Amino acid sequence: MTAARQSVHARSALWFTNPKARRATWACALAAYLGGASAIAHSSNYEQSLLLVAAVYSVLALSLDLVAGATGLYSLGHAGLFAIGAYTTTILNTHYGWNVFLALPVVVAAVGIVGVVIGALSLRVSGLYFAITTLIFTIIVNVLVSDLSITGGYQGLPGPTFPNFPHALSPLGSALVWAVAGAVLLTITVTWSIRSSALYPALLAIRDSEPFASSVGVRTAATKVAIFSLSAALAGLAGWTFSFLGFITPGQFDTTAAVNILVMVILGGMNTRTGPIFGAVFIGLFPTVVTINPLWQEILFGSIFLIVIVFFPGGFVGLLARAGREIRAKATHTGEAQASVAPGTRPSHSNGSAPDEPREVTAPFRPSVGIDLRATLGSSTAAAREREAVSEIALEVHGVSFSYVKGTKVLDGVDFVVRRGTVHGLIGPNGSGKSTLVNLISGELPCQEGAIRVNGRRIDHLPAWQRPAVGLMRTFQTAGMVSELTLRDNVGLGLFSHLPRIGPRSLAWPLLPSARRDDEKVANIATAALGRVGLEEPWPGSRALDVPHGVEQLAQLAAACVGAPRILVLDEPLAGLSRQEVDQVAAILRDLKAQGVSTIVVEHQARFIFEVCDEVTVLAAGELVKAGSAAEVRSDERVRQVYLGL
Amino acid sequence: MLQVVLTGLSVGAVYGLVGMGFAVAFYVTRVLNFATGQLLMVAIMLTAALSAAHWPIALAMGVGLAASTLGGVLIYLLAVRPVLRFDRLSFAWLVSTLGVAIILESVAALIWGTSSLSFPQLLNGNDVNILGGALTWQQIATVLVALGAVVAFEAVRRITLFGKLGTAISADPEMSSAIGANVTLHAAIAFALGGLLAGIGGVLVGPISFANPYLGETYGIYGFIALMIGGTERPAASMGGGLILGILATLANTYINPQASDWFPFVVVLAVLLLTPKGIFASGDAIRDRLIGLARRQPLTTSKATPS
């Protein structure tokens, strides 16, 4: 996966900072692409048929990488979706006489809808079971097209012929080549746009750490279904183009094909921009170019699977990236280090303005505060806070009970009140139900009994991803950041719920000026927030994978603060922190308090709790033992017995 | 009807053995060896080829089983361990074990050709009457051997330290290696057992199926379905899954149409996965837990609030 991790920051290449150079590069790339397509459109039939298969596979592999590489949904159902696309096009054209261009939107939409159903499955079964369920989908489609008479059974059907260009356009060459080139271009645009959008880190978070994703406001279930549906629609598009390439038979869409698509992605390099294309071209051309005894060909094919996965697990692109790193390392050794950027560091997007002046950029942003509320509290936020400050109670938990297994109550009728602008400690022995309570407040767990109110408004029916919108953010006991993203990108995820319409905009992200502005703001606010928790350069540009645990914990705190929460829930924020870092956290909590944020801290370090908290609630065996001011609780006889052991 | 069930049992026992072959390896390593079906094929092909070369049947079978067992170990060492070292939770093994499956199948086809070879008859084909149904001795032996394999496996897993360590490794390999378990050895043995179980299935079904390089694919898929019906959490449950699958497939062929076993099993397994994602037998546990939970409710309310 090192390849994938490297490529995450492909968008950080230096030319990105110069919009003219960027536009020129894209224009050249597009011209080269169209030139290539034109050359193929005029080439011989043999070359065309060869390259068109590879091109269709590219669409398929790119669509699979979107769900498998980025979102972690290892689908083996894409062969089935591909089959539905190809067969539907053929049947609509040959049986019902539909124009192929009329069939196109219908086919793409239909396969997209099937994708919604399969995507919904991913909510029930995950990981390996999702792969298996989707493989069974492919098998069922395959059995159906083999047995039905309308699909021509095992013999298959001759695909429709693609209409030629009208006479005026005939100098352009083969119309089919242009259609396929268009499909590939569309797929590249969509998948690459998503990879460069603010949605991409959210997808990775869904893949690696779903609770983290929903805690920052990512609508995980809907996102998974939507992204799978999009991927399925692209597979349907691939099927539409494939139907024009000749005969379609069930054998082209069997389980081997299902696995082959995944192999294309892995061979080329999973979760990379170009990897799936390389893999698709290789697998597409292999059987035609390597013409030996078919059995030997199979053996060679199997050996390639084995050798690539064992020796070059990052795929082809991973190999290239490694070579590139080595060359760069050599260059640095020869003394040209000054100009180069630290590995993994993303240069600031700020078009010349120094990155260490985040506040100016921060100001126009809606939540407008980042962690630094004290310095630049935007007036709108202050007004909003005043308006809401009707009740003194920030968070109220009333009569909440919870059982994981029926009959065994982990929480039993707990009342818990956090007053506005205080730091509230939640303590208790292991197994007392602290984490369960926190998970109920953040919506990780469904509330079974009782009520949870924020500012007097009941929130217990809201799903986790809607709770950041009521001003509730949280951190996790074991930090669950996306390991291949930089801390800056991880913290930037904390602003996810503040960016409007990420979903639709992600389809054309690099083309939208508003998106580029958002990228800059998010990067700057995130860097500033990291600075506030004491993580200056080079930490913001380091990958979460490479940083020590304490740093990840602090970054998590920054991610929760960056969206300017009104209520902050910290689940054991000190675990694994050094003495110095603990002081840092204490200072941050005081800061937040000064800004009127109400904080709930679950912690075992009694000293920290009584030093920092205004009020403390003690739980034991799922029941409330004592709640009151820190001093009161500390001197309580029962608390000493149950917990402090003093 | 009874006849159908009996035939189904004998067919399903082989699916169950292959399913257990998948399950044992998966149980310890969390890897599905997609070449398990091909290991069954290796056992069949070698036994058929050697007995055709006038080796004694027992010896030919022994070599066949040894080859499938050794094959399991080699797959682990060459195709699985290197990719696990890289990332335990990725699906890289899916590609590498499928690569092995393709290679094994093609090599067998190169050596022995693509047409079926005959397989030695071990037991005579006489029918035995059981409660009005009839089975051949071969079919009865298949069912008995399969059940014996389940009992032996469960005994080793539950009673011996070796088996318990396997359970520990399946839960947490790092922790187990910290307490002194040799994870590599255990995993290699699990793959060897997987190969052996598939091989046993092979020599049992050989007299009916004959010897063909492409048998591995068929039995691999059916074994895999048996695994999914039974659930991956308990290897022995795969045998239950195999028997259910065998009966359902035979019923489908008898009562729906002769080709129904092509698609019927997939519909069943899809239904199973949708209703109980972890397999039929695992969800039995869930139901039991719920019942126990209900039973516990009573005493808990009386002895409430004991601060621990």
pLDDT of residue A525: 87
Question: Phi then psi for A197, rounded to 5 degrees?
Answer: -90, 175
Q: How far apart are CA A32 and CA A23, in angstroms?
A: 14
Q: Is B102 close to A429, i.e. CB distance below 8 A?
A: no
What 3-state class would DSSP assign to A396? strand
Question: Phi then psi for A78, rounded to 5 degrees?
Answer: -65, -25
Q: Which residues of A touch B269 (CB under 8 A)?
A: 136
Instruction: Find the CB nearest B307 among A131, A306, A620.
Output: A620
Under-50 pLDDT residues of chain A = 1-15, 335-383, 386-387
Classify domain B2-302 by CATH number.
1.10.3470
A305 vs B: CB within 8 A: yes
Q: Which residues of B touch A262 (CB under 8 A)?
A: 91, 94-95
Q: How far apart are CA A10 and CA B241, in angstroms?
A: 48
Chain A residue nearest residue B298, CA to CA: A407
Query: Which of A 22-61 lie inside 8 A of B, CB atoms?
Result: none
* Of B29, B83, B48, nearest in space to B193 by CA: B29
* Max Cα distance, chain A (Å): 95
Mean per-residue pLDDT, B272-284: 67
Q: Which residues of A touch B103 (CB under 8 A)?
A: 298-299, 302-303, 306
- As given in the structure block, the two tokens for residue A58 are 């590219």
**Cα dihedral A322/A327/A330/A332 (nearest 10):** -90
Q: How far apart are CA A42 and CA A468, in angstroms?
A: 56
* Of A276, A488, A355, A351, nearest in space to A22 by CA: A351
Q: How far apart are CA A146 and CA A153, in angstroms?
A: 4
Instruction: Find the CB nearest A125 among B106, B277, B300.
Output: B277
Instruction: Read off the pLDDT of residues B121-155 as tens digits, 9 standing for 90 and up.
Output: 777 667 777 777 777 888 888 889 999 999 988 88
Query: Which of B 17-56 lie inside 8 A of A, CB atoms?
Result: 32
Answer for the pair A240, A128: CB distance below 8 angstroms, yes or no.
no
Q: Is A301 close to B96, i.e. CB distance below 8 A?
A: no
pLDDT of residue B86: 65
Answer for the pair B68, B198: CB distance below 8 angstroms, yes or no.
yes
A497 vs B: CB within 8 A: no
Number of Cβ within a 10 Å radius of residue B56: 11
Which residues are registered as beta bridge partners of B128? Answer: B135
Q: Is A313 close to B78, i.e. CB distance below 8 A?
A: no
pLDDT of residue A241: 95
**What ipTM was reported for this prediction?**
0.78
Chain A residue nearest residue B89, CA to CA: A127
Instruction: Read off the pLDDT of residues B40-77 as tens digits, 9 standing for 90 and up.
Output: 999 999 999 998 888 898 899 999 999 999 999 999 99
Q: Is A259 close to B86, i.e. CB distance below 8 A?
A: no
pLDDT of residue A61: 96
Q: Is A306 close to B87, i.e. CB distance below 8 A?
A: no
pLDDT of residue A628: 83
Answer for the pair A263, A305: CB distance below 8 angstroms, yes or no.
yes
Q: For residue B194, give the H/E element and its range.
A: helix B183-209
Chain A residue nearest residue B305, CA to CA: A621
Q: pLDDT category, B298, cuts 50, 70, 90?
A: very low
pLDDT of residue B289: 56
For residue B88, pLDDT over 60 is answered with: no
- Domains along chain A with CATH numbers: 2-320 (1.10.3470), 390-471+598-646 (3.40.50.300)
Mutation test of the interface with chain A: which of B94, B227, B272, B278, choosing the one with the most A Cβ atoms within 10 A?
A: B94
pLDDT of residue A344: 39
Q: Which residues of A touch B94 (CB under 8 A)?
A: 131, 259, 262
Answer for the pair B28, B164: CB distance below 8 angstroms, yes or no.
no
What 3-state class would DSSP assign to B7? helix
Q: Is A408 close to B228, i.e. CB distance below 8 A?
A: no
**Chain B closest CA to A236's CA: distance in Å?**
23
How many residue pairs bridge chain A and chain B with CB atoms within 8 Å of each other? 129
Q: Is B102 close to A302, i.e. CB distance below 8 A?
A: yes
Q: How far apart are CA A286 and CA B49, in angstroms?
A: 33
